[in-house]
Each structure stands twice: as structure tokens, then as C-alpha cells.
């Protein structure tokens, strides 16, 4: 270790993953909620996790189960740390709604420890470490949410080992999230992943490849309309939509109200709509989506967000 800090506070925003066709590959950071992680070196040779904050209920404290734990173990190993770590998670991102809650914690922890342990990792290395937290929570080290929370804006997380490409979202992009009030299930993402068949048809893969390419090109060109044309999915949504009452109506009414595209946010149950603020009013899209849920006898809430910047260090104490 070169530079010794005694305590570092990292923060990372929530995110929406997939955007339809970019299953496990696309992530977009949202400026609505963020998690904070306070990390400090301790004299006891073990990692201790504590949680607090408005959304900390039922969060596991075991290193192998909390999404901050595996990244902390990995980074302590990389730093050849001979001491222990205390990780305090201040939880603000709601869990189980499809907003990358576990990813935001893993990203904030990874960012804080990179600084605390003076590791100076590359973006791809940070994302790989943070994705270990997702493996603990969901069973797979999908990197879409953690990449968005760590790097901000729109991120393409691809290949094995993971590589990332960040693209600045268009300034006129608004993100509407509508969340049905369903009982929050424990292990929701793990279950929603199990709903997807192991094999997909070539025709489905081709449709997704084309649409995902349109999304990437849309972000590269700053064209919200083009991004929206790619937000239909053949891999996960056909199997997950049955878990979301009113899905088809919410999608259709969101599009009718002016959304460029609508998809399930991450593993759901929230739906996300991308809106070009120059030509359409995001609040009207939000209202239409909430109304569509209501027509299906489901209460829902909504918010309008903007893309968020990446994980940051709020405080370093030497």
C-alpha cells in the first residue's frame, strides 16, 4: 500500500439494466437514489459489514451474502491487506424493484476500497470486482448494473472477462420509471433469471443483436428516438412479463404517451421508459404508465430521472 487512508466514503447511484434487448450488457445510471459506503481499515483480520439507512431492512450482514462483501474480499486480496476492514453500507436504493440496488452497494464499496487501499484499478477492473457482489446476490456476476453505477451514464459491459464502453447519454434524455406495488420477493432477481430458458432461437438472437446495435448507435449519435427503436427484447421479457400484471398495457400506453421505448427495468418489476424531453413531456408518460397499472388493478408509483454520473469519493481521511 502506497498511500494510507484510514477512512473513505464512496457513493454510487442506482441504475436501470438491459433497456430491453441489451440483456446483461446495457446499464444506465439514474440520479434518483444512491448508496453510500464508509470503509475503514481495522486491526482485526476480518471483514465486518454493517448496514444502516432507510432501506437497510433485511439486508444480510454476511460477507458472502451482502453485495459489498465479495468485492471487499477481492480487493483486500489484491492489496495484500494484512488487517481487517469495516464496511458500513448506508442504504438508500430500494431493494427488489429493478433499480440495481445490490449493484449500487457493490459499486460504492468498490469505489471506496479502491481509494482506501490505494489500488488505482482501471474501470474494467473495478467493474469486474463489483460484479462479484452480484454473483453473491443473484447467482451470476452480471456487470450491467455495477458498470453503470461505477462509470455513470450509459455503459456497455461485454465480453468475458468483462470490458466496458461508456457513452454520454443525450442531454435531452429523460428516464421514467413506473413501479407496481407488488409484495417484494426475496431472491427476486435470482428467480427472474431462472424464468429465462437456457437456449434461445437464432431468430431471437438476431432480433436482439440488431436492436441492441440500434441502441448503441442511438447513444453514440445522441438520438433518443433511435435508442427507443431497439428496446424490445426476445430473451428475457417474453418470460418475465408474466410476473408483472398489466405489463402489455403499461408498455403500450407509455409508448402512446410519447416514450421512445419501454422495457422492464433490470429484472423488474419496474418498467422504464426513455423519453426525448425536447419533443415529449416525461411526466405525461409517467402518468400514462401509472394509469395503465391502475386499469389492471395494480397500484404503482413513478418518477422521472436523468442519467447520473459515476461513483464518487465523498470523503477521504488520512
Q: Which is nearer to ligand HSE, 100 or 228 (CB)?
A: 100
Reading phi first (left if > 0) and then psi (alpha if -120 to 50, else beta), residue 258 is in left
Closest listed residue to residue 310, CA positions, set 207, 169, 141, 175: 169
Q: Which is nearer to ligand HSE, 94 or 258 (CB)?
A: 94
Q: Where are the beta strands (DSSP E) in 84-190?
A: 84-90, 154-158, 163-167, 173-180
Closest approach of Cβ 62 to ligand HSE, in Å?
Answer: 21
The torsion of the CA quartet 122, 67, 140, 98, rounded to 10 degrees, works out to -100
Q: Which is nearer to ligand HSE, 129 or 288 (CB)?
A: 129
Q: Which is nearer to ligand HSE, 34 or 115 (CB)?
A: 34
* # residues near ligand HSE by CB under 6 A: 14
State the binding string over 120-149 for ligand HSE (x if CB under 6 A, else -). Answer: ----------------------x-xx----
Active-site pick, 138, 164, 189, 237: 189
Closest approach of Cβ 15 to ligand HSE, in Å?
Answer: 8
User: Which residues from 67-126 bind ligand HSE, rule CB under 6 A?
Assistant: 100
Residues 6+ apart with CB under 8 A from 206: none
Does 18 bind ligand HSE (CB under 6 A)? Our answer is yes
> Please, what's the b/e burial string for 136-172 (b: 16 or more CB within 10 A of its CB; e: otherwise)?
bbbeebbbbbbbbbbbbbbbbbbeeebebebbebbee
Closest listed residue to residue 103, CA positions, set 74, 80, 70, 63: 70
**For ligand HSE, which residue of 17, 85, 112, 273 counts as binding (CB under 6 A)?**
17
* Cell (9 digits) for 279: 419533443
Q: How far apart are CA 190 and CA 82, in angstroms?
A: 34
Closest approach of Cβ 145 to ligand HSE, in Å?
Answer: 5
- Respond yes or no: is residue 105 known to be catalytic: no
Active-site pick, 16, 90, 125, 134: 134
Does 24 bind ligand HSE (CB under 6 A)? Our answer is yes
- Respond yes or no: is residue 138 known to be catalytic: no
User: Which residues from 170-209 bind ligand HSE, rule CB under 6 A?
Assistant: 189, 192-193
* Cell (9 digits) for 293: 397499472
HSE of 146, CA atoms in CB hemisphere, 13 A: 34
Closest approach of Cβ 258 to ligand HSE, in Å?
Answer: 25
Q: Which residue is nearest to ligand HSE (CB)?
A: 266
Q: How far apart are CA 228 and CA 218, in angstroms?
A: 8
| Residues recognised as catalytic | 134, 189
Residues that bind ligand HSE (CB under 6 A): 17-18, 23-24, 100, 142, 144-145, 189, 192-193, 236, 266-267
Amino acid at each position: 500500500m502506497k498511500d494510507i487512508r484510514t477512512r473513505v466514503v464512496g457513493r454510487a447511484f442506482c441504475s436501470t439494466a438491459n433497456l430491453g434487448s441489451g440483456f446483461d450488457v446495457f446499464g444506465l445510471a439514474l440520479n434518483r437514489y444512491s448508496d453510500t459506503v464508509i470503509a475503514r481499515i481495522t486491526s482485526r483480520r476480518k471483514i465486518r459489514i454493517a448496514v444502516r439507512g432507510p432501506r437497510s431492512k433485511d439486508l444480510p450482514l454476511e460477507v458472502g451474502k451482502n453485495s459489498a462483501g465479495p468485492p471487499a474480499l477481492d480487493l483486500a486480496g489484491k492489496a495484500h491487506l494484512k488487517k481487517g476492514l469495516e464496511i458500513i453500507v448506508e442504504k438508500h436504493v430500494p431493494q427488489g424493484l429493478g433499480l440495481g440496488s445490490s449493484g449500487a452497494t457493490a459499486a460504492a464499496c468498490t469505489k471506496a476500497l479502491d481509494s482506501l487501499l490505494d489500488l488505482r484499478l482501471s474501470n474494467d477492473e473495478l467493474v469486474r470486482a463489483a460484479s462479484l457482489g452480484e454473483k453473491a446476490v443473484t447467482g451470476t456476476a452480471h456487470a450491467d448494473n455495477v458498470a453503470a453505477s461505477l462509470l455513470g451514464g450509459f455503459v456497455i459491459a461485454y465480453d468475458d472477462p468483462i470490458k466496458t464502453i461508456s457513452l454520454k447519454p443525450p442531454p435531452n434524455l429523460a428516464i421514467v420509471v413506473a413501479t407496481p406495488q407488488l409484495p417484494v420477493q426475496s431472491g427476486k432477481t435470482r428467480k427472474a433469471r431462472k424464468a429465462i430458458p437456457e437456449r434461445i432461437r437464432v431468430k431471437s438472437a438476431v432480433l436482439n443483436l440488431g436492436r441492441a446495435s440500434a441502441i448503441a448507435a442511438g447513444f453514440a449519435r445522441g438520438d433518443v428516438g433511435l435508442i427507443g427503436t431497439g428496446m424490445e427484447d426476445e430473451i428475457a421479457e417474453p418470460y418475465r412479463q408474466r410476473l408483472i400484471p398489466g405489463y402489455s398495457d403499461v408498455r403500450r400506453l407509455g409508448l402512446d404517451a410519447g416514450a421512445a421505448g419501454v422495457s422492464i427495468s433490470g429484472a423488474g418489476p419496474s418498467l422504464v421508459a426513455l423519453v426525448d424531453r425536447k419533443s415529449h413531456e416525461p411526466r405525461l408518460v409517467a402518468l400514462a404508465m401509472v394509469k395503465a397499472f391502475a386499469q389492471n388493478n395494480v397500484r404503482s408509483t413513478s418518477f422521472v430521472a436523468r442519467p447520473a454520473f459515476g461513483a464518487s469519493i465523498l470523503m477521504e481521511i488520512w
